[in-house]
A and B are shown apart, each in its own frame.
Chain A
Amino acid sequence: MSEFAKRLHQLSERLSYLRDIFPGKHEEELALLQTRLDEAQAAAENASGEESGAGLEALEDLFFFIECKLEDKLTPMDKVRIVRHPQRICLRDILENVYDNYTEIGGQDEHTIDPAMLIARAYITRKRGGQVYHQPVLVIGHEKGHGEEFRNGGSAKPWGNAKAKHYMGVAETEGIPIHAYVFTPGGYPLEEYPGAAQQIARNIYEMAGLTVPIIAVFSEGGSGGAEAVSLADRRLMLSHGYYSVISPEGAAAIEGRLRNGERASAELVERCAENLHLTAEDNLKFGYIDKIIQEPVLGARPYHYEFFRTLRQEVLRATDEVVLRARGFAPLRAAALHRLHDRELNLDEFYVRWDLSRAARQRLVEMRQNKFIKASHSVCKNNRSVAGRLGDAWSEQWWEIYNRLIYDFYHRNRRTIRNLFEELGSEWDMFKMRLLRTWKRQEAQELAAEEELTSLSEWSEDERGWAWVSEKAREDRAVTCPYAARRGCMDMWAFDLYNEFAGVCSSCGHHFPMEYQWVMNNCFDKDSLYEFNTEVESGNPLRFPGFDEKLAAARKKTGLKSACITFEARLEGIQVVVAILAGSFRGGSVGVAEGAKFVAAADRARRKRCPFIVYCHGTAGIRIQEGTHGVIQMPRCTVAVRRYIEAGGLYLVLYDTKSYGGPVASFLGCAFYQFAIRSSSIGFAGPGVIKNTTGIDVPPNHHNCYHALSRGHIQGVWDRRDVRANLCQAIETMGGRNLYYR
């Protein structure tokens, strides 16, 4: 093909790209380009090479002019279409053009456990003063492969995320930085082992404590799938990318209340994309990304070589910055950091060692954790007075000091002496027992015989009543078990079912859904509940249209201010901190307020060295109306949980009714001890979402808690009536060493 034909072909490709990005929009401009292109093609056949070359140059200028004009008119949905276009750069283009050499590990092309997840050991060569340095880096990311079908659009399956986690461990062992590239529309919703939600939760938990620098670059950040590899020290975002809690189409389906695969109108999708605030500028403003990398006009494509140079400089800059900050303050390094901000600096000729000392690694993790804990703090609606907040801060410090004095100093030394005395006492008892064995045995036999002859059997009053009884028990009606046809269950009187039976079918044991108050009031010691952070209230940080009214309705219906209730209580006298996700408030969805309350509860449990119990009465996932403010709660709360667990606490999650989405795929799913109340459902995406995204029908009991138990997601299934007893046993037998009662 001649050079001229090649250029014409490129223009035709650019035009088809424009048509894909702007379907049904800017038709006048696109028609003009089409006419001019047709004319150029016709002229090329008749005119001489020189004439047609000049004409083509003018046409290229026209293309560029119109592209620049359209760039200014880009809507959020246009950006979504740019990101999804097969011509957009993908991870392999980045590996080819940003890094000096790379080797794919963990499989190649379709010969890998999950082609949507690509892992490569790459290196970057830098020169300083004639000396060459090869700096290794582990590249992890989603591969869309320019529309290759087996890549699944970059939607990683659970085992793909497991592969990523495995190689993160390798990078940590080798002490090399990780560059994570996020090109995913979301995680693939599969419940097969290890389970989509469970694996994403494990990845987030792992990254929260990884002791090597992590840099994430977002192009397409689709909710949970993106979070699985993006809990990073620096988060960069491509200017035409998006980072969102849900796809605009998904949000439109929810907003439009569409069922059975009905399609939302283009206007509604466009409106939802706008309301979700998913662009790079929005996310930079919220503080969930650190920097925007400017792309060429209408998005980067594989032939934009200058863009790859910019990207290389930015990832180098980010890695150097993270490493230097983790090493601690020093005048020379501060000067280096200052120089790094100079845009003219060529980082290929600048060298920073990327290995970190043990102390620096700890500092790195701490800084990363602090960064996420602080995220979304400014948008949290907290009605607590200034005096109250000061009191809280003082009380936190007091508990810190008190616990250090009591448990770290007094108890630790006292325990040593007490242990010594206990050992000696046991030895003495054994000695006495051996010495007096014969005499004691005879005496015991005589006593037992006497007791049998003289005492009466004891009559114990069987206490069947519950402290809290559901309103449903007041209804004068019979209730049919949903399994009556299959298991032959008899109808039950609502009064019996919701009162004495605790919502459990007396025939087959099916658990009817109950209110969150049942566990709250029946499973902890009487009058021991003390609710805190009651002033934190769910808000509408994105000003999502119509959401304020929905929130007001939820508040009125439930009497709650958010879906999360946090309180202190006692279980057989042991102080515990409890967080409840109440399914009755906006489906138990998690937003900024819920995240803030959860983080505060985890922190309180850590300070007071109490067990931290989360009762997930029900959750539909992350609250979509809060956009990335909601999705950031996934890493944020997981970091809080990791801090708590590493401090030696007991973090226990109990699922009831239905638990899906982001919370299960992060701070709930990462718990070492997870249990479910019988008849509950646990999963990543509901049956409707699975059908819409994968086209696969799932059986009615696909999310049943016993399936979660079989694949190892949860550790046990409890009867509702045994929750209190099981919780008591758990706090006595499970958890770390740093609980106040141990």
Chain B
Amino acid sequence: MRDIAEVMAELKAAPYTEKAVVAPHTGVVQFSDVEEGSEVFGPTGEWQEIPGTHIATITRERNPRNIVTAERGILRKVCRELDGTFVEAGTMLALVRHYLTRQEVISRLLMESLYTFCAPERARYYFAPDVDKKVKILGCRTVSVQEGMELFIVSRMKREAPLCYAGPSGIIYEVCFDQNRNVDAGAPLIVVCPPEQEESVEDVISRVEREWSDGE
């Protein structure tokens, strides 16, 4: 877990990620008519069935294959000097700069500065009775958790078993599950924050929500 201010400073300095579009295998590259600085898209559609923007076609053994962008962003660079040449696998063909959205920034801040406790299996999860009472009356941020604490009850097909918390000590910053719904294995249950960081986390998150604009 890192200090949230430090992570925020990093994000402010470079509020984007850059991803290179590389040749998946050897072959002769033919670029499409995309231009540097133009906007590109990743796969879209309800099932991601519409492929991203077509950047180039690579042909190996008379087998042409389209190379498309994997996420939304601005095309920073197109290696046009490679047009019509034979390239090795992994050769960079273009560079896409993806500007982080507000949600991505918050998620990254929480991921890097706080601890997320995830569901070990698909089941319904409940807080242990005493914790549940406290969460309902006083709110989750009044509950402190520490390693080995019996925090949850796992309910699966009419069988119930206790689940102990494993991770760093802190307060429950956020509850990510609904008690009457099944939670998939690996989905977050709670976000735990060290007590001394609570104020600064809240401050940073509210600032991001207020000031960060999407799609710069």
A to B CB contacts below 8 Å, 11 in the list: A475-B62, A477-B62, A478-B62, A480-B63, A491-B25, A491-B61, A491-B63, A699-B46, A699-B47, A700-B47, A700-B49
Identify the closest chain B residue to A476 (Cβ): B62
Residues on B with beta carbons closer than 8 Å to the beta carbon of A480: 63, 65
Residue A697 lies at the interface, judged by CB distance under 8 Å to chain B:
yes
Select one of A475, A476, A491 contacting B60, CB under 8 A: A491
Interface flags, B53-94, vs A, CB<8A=1, else 0 = 000000011110100000000000000000000000000000
Is A478 a contact partner of B63 (Cβ separation < 8 A)? yes
Q: A699: which B residues are within 8 A, CB to CB? A: 46-47, 49
A478–B63 Cα gap in the complex (Å)?
Answer: 5
Alpha-carbon distance A476/B25, docked complex (angstroms)? 19
Residues of the A chain whose Cβ atoms lie less than 8 Å from the Cβ of B63: 477-480, 491
Q: Give the residue name and chain of the B residue nearest to A702 (CB).
A: B47
In the complex formed, the residue of B with least CB distance to A701 is: B47
Chain A residues positioned under 8 Å from B47 (CB to CB): 699-700
Cβ of A694 to closest chain B Cβ, rounded Å: 15
Nearest-CB distance from B117 to chain A (Å)?
30
Complex CA distance for A700 and B60, rounded to whole angstroms: 27
A479 to B65, CA, bound (A): 10
Interface string of A458-492 (1 = CB under 8 A from B): 00000000000000000111111000000000010
**A interface residue numbers (CB < 8 A to B):** 475-480, 491, 493, 697, 699-700
Give chain A residues whose Cβ lies under 8 Å from the Cβ of B60: 478, 491
Q: For residue A700, which residue of chain B has the nearest CB?
A: B49
On chain B, the residues within 8 Å of A478 by CB distance are 60-63
Min Cβ gap A703→B in Å is: 13
Residues of chain A contacted by B65 (CB below 8 angstroms): 480
Given contacts A476-B62, A480-B63, 4 further A-B contacts (CB under 8 A): A476-B61, A477-B62, A697-B45, A699-B47
Bound-state Cα–Cα, A478 to B60, Å: 7
Q: In the complex, which residues of chain A have a beta carbon less than 8 angstroms from the beta carbon of B49?
A: 699-700
CA A476 to CA B61, docked complex, whole Å: 8
**Complex Cα distance A493/B60, Å?**
11
Q: B12-34: which have CB < 8 Å to A?
A: 25
Instruction: Output the nearest chain A residue to B45 by Cβ-Cβ distance.
Output: A697
Nearest-CB distance from A580 to chain B (Å)? 30
- Within the complex, what minimum Cβ distance (angstroms) separates B189 from chain A? 29
Expressed in whole angstroms, the Cα–Cα distance for A477 and B60 within the complex equals 8
Please, which residue of chain A has its CB at the minimum distance from the CB of B51? A485
Considering the complex of A and B, which 7 residue pairs feature the smallest CB-CB distances, nearest first? A477-B62, A478-B61, A478-B63, A700-B49, A699-B47, A477-B63, A477-B61
Per-residue 0/1 for B97-140: is the Cβ within 8 Å of any A Cβ (1 yes, 0 no)?
A: 00000000000000000000000000000000000000000000
Q: In the complex, what distance in Å separates the CA atom of A493 from the CA atom of B61?
A: 9
Could you say which residues of chain A place their CB within 8 Å of the CB of B61?
476-478, 491, 493
- Kindly list chain B residues whose C-beta atoms are within 8 Å of the C-beta of A493: 61
Residues of chain B within 8 A of A477, CB atoms compared: 61-63
Q: CB-nearest residue of chain B relative to A687?
A: B49
Across the interface, which residues of B come within 8 angstroms of A697, CB to CB?
45-46
Min distance, Cβ A510 to any Cβ of chain B, angstroms: 16
Q: How far is the CB of B159 from chain A (nearest CB, A)?
A: 28
Question: In the docked arrangement, what's the CA distance between A248 and B62, Å?
Answer: 43
CA distance A304 to B32 in the complex (A): 65
Which residues of B34-51 are within 8 A (CB) of A? 45-47, 49
Collect the chain B residues with CB atoms within 8 Å of residue A476's CB: 61-62
Instruction: Give the distance in Å from the alpha carbon of A475 to the alpha carbon of B45 in the complex.
Output: 35
A699 to B47 CA separation, bound complex (whole angstroms): 6
Taking the nearest CB of chain B, how far is it from the CB of A723, in angstroms? Answer: 28
Chain B proximity of A150: nearest CB distance (Å): 26
Instruction: Give Cα distance in the complex from A81 to B2, angstroms.
Output: 69
- Return A532 CB to nearest CB of chain B, in Å: 41
Q: How far is the CA of A449 from the CA of B59 in the complex (A)?
A: 61
**CB neighbours of B25 from chain A (8 A):** 491
Measured in the bound complex, the distance between the Cα atoms of B49 and A699 in whole Å is 8
CA distance A491 to B63 in the complex (A): 9
Contacts of B46 in A (CB 8 A): 697, 699
A116 nearest CB across to chain B (Å):
27
- By CB atoms of chain B within 10 A, which of A476, A478, A491, A699 has the most? A478
Nearest Cβ in chain A — how far from B208, in angstroms?
33
Q: How far is the CA of A475 from the CA of B65 in the complex (A)?
A: 17
Q: Closest chain A residue to B50 by CB distance?
A: A700
Bound state CA distance, A491 and B64, in angstroms? 11
Determine the distance from Cα of A622 to Cα of B64 in the docked complex, in whole angstroms: 35
A108 to chain B, nearest CB (A): 34
Q: Smallest distance from the beta carbon of B19 to chain A beta carbons, Å?
A: 16
Minimum CB distance partner of B65 in chain A? A480
Closest CB in chain B relative to A393 CB, distance in Å: 54
Minimal beta-carbon separation of B70 from chain A (angstroms): 10
Residue ID in chain B nearest A699 by CB atoms = B47
Query: Chain B residue with minimal CB distance to A475?
Result: B62
Chain A residues in 8 Å Cβ range of B45? 697
A700 — which chain B residues lie within 8 A by C-beta?
A: 47, 49
Within the assembled complex, what's the spacing in Å between the Cα atoms of A480 and B63? Answer: 7
For residue A483, give the distance in angstroms from its CB to the closest CB of chain B. Answer: 13
Roughly how many angstroms separate A480 CA and B61 CA in the complex, as a whole number? 11
A491 to B58, CA, bound (A): 13
Residues in B with CB closer than 8 Å to A491 are 25, 60-61, 63
- C-alpha gap A431/B98 in the complex (Å): 84
Give the distance in Å from the alpha carbon of A141 to the alpha carbon of B8 in the complex: 66
In the complex, residue of chain B having the shortest beta-carbon distance to the beta carbon of A485: B24
Q: State in angstroms the CA–CA spacing of A451 and B68 once bound together.
A: 63
> In the complex, what distance in Å separates the CA atom of A527 from the CA atom of B205?
77
The CA-CA distance from A477 to B46 in the complex, in Å, is 34
B62 contact set on A, CB distance < 8 A: 475-478
Tell me the smallest distance from the CB of B90 to a CB of chain A, in Å: 16
The smallest C-beta distance from A360 to any residue of chain B, in angstroms, reads 55
Complex-state Cα separation, A689 to B28, whole angstroms: 39
Whole-angstrom distance between the Cβ of B69 and the nearest chain A Cβ: 13
Task: Give the distance in Å from the alpha carbon of A215 to the alpha carbon of B68 in the complex.
Answer: 58
**How far does the alpha carbon of A564 sit from the alpha carbon of B65 in the complex, in Å?**
35
Closest to B61 in A: A478
Q: Please measure, in the bound complex, the distance between the C-alpha atom of A700 and the C-alpha atom of B47, giving whole angstroms.
A: 8
CA distance A476 to B63 in the complex (A): 10
Of listed B25, B45, B61, residue having the most chain A CB within 10 A: B61
Question: What distance in Å separates the Cβ of B54 from its nearest Cβ neighbour in chain A?
Answer: 15
CB-nearest residue of chain A to B70: A485
Interchain CA distance A700-B49 in the complex, whole Å: 7
Closest to B46 in A: A697
Min C-beta distance of A153 to chain B, whole Å: 26
What is the distance, in angstroms, from A350's C-beta to the closest C-beta of chain B?
61
Task: Give CA–CA (A700, B65) in the complex, Å.
Answer: 20
A448–B60 Cα distance when bound, in Å, is: 57
Report Cα–Cα, A717/B97, bound state, in Å.
45
